Structure 1
């Protein structure tokens, strides 16, 4: 697991190639990152299913309660099939754009 921090956003990338162990590590270490916006880089997992991505829903809900962003980056996925409670985008650039927009919304009180 590689963690890269830039400002108020942390990008977590799976370097092992094992989705289940990555999910477990992120869940265990979630308290470490909960005060920052989180981007989960899952681009290395070409064959992820919607069901697997939805396993991050509890963490996403917790981040929303903390008034922080939680964005998952996956490129080979039907984005309409994923829960509307999860923010899933196909690139890291879009993930950063989403976080920037959500920060502005929070600053404006939405």
Structure 2
């Protein structure tokens, strides 16, 4: 797992692990990232909707802490993704979502 910290956002990248192992590792180490917005970058690997859904419990837990959780994947059916998961095709869009959510939190939404 590769970790990159940019200000108030942490980007986690899966390097070579199977996606289920990567998800389990991020879940185990979630305490380290609880105060940061998280971007899970899965662009280096091919994933399907089932693999993205593995992050659902972690996303819910992280969002309860008033922090953003965004998954970046190359190509899936974005319309089939559950509404509570933020899944986007690029890192720039992930940063944009985080910025919008921070503005909403600042405004009290």
Measure the CA separation in 2 of the matches of 1:50 and 1:21: 16
1:2 aligns with 2:2: yes
Give, in whole Å, the separation in 1 of the partners of 2:18 and 2:84.
Answer: 24
Is this contact kept in 1: 2:9–2:39, CA < 8 A?
yes
The equivalent of 2:98 in structure 1 is 99
Q: Could you tell me whether the CA contact under 8 Å between 2:20 and 2:54 is conserved in 1?
A: no
**Which 10-residue stretch deviates more, 36-45 or 14-23?**
14-23
Contact preservation (8 Å) 1:17, 1:45: no
The answer to whether residue 38 in structure 2 is matched with residue 26 in structure 1 is no
Q: Structure 1 length normalisation: TM-score? A: 0.95
- SS of the equivalent of 1:44 reads coil
Q: CA RMSD in A?
A: 0.9
1:27 aligned counterpart, secondary structure: helix
Where in structure 1 do 4 or more consecutive aligned residues deviate above 2 Å? none
Q: How many residues align?
A: 109
8 Å CA contact 1:41–1:72 kept in 2: the answer is yes
Unaligned runs of 5+ in 2: none
How far residue 61 of structure 1 moved from its aligned partner, in angstroms, is 0.6
Per the TM alignment, residue 17 of structure 1 is displaced from its structure 2 partner at its CA by 4.3
Consecutive unaligned residues in structure 1, runs of 5 or more:
none
CA–CA distance in structure 1, aligned partners of residues 2 and 43 of structure 2: 13
Give the distance between the partners of 1:83 and 1:71, measured in 2 at CA. Answer: 13
In structure 1, C-alpha distance between the alignment counterparts of 2:77 and 2:94, rounded to whole Å: 17
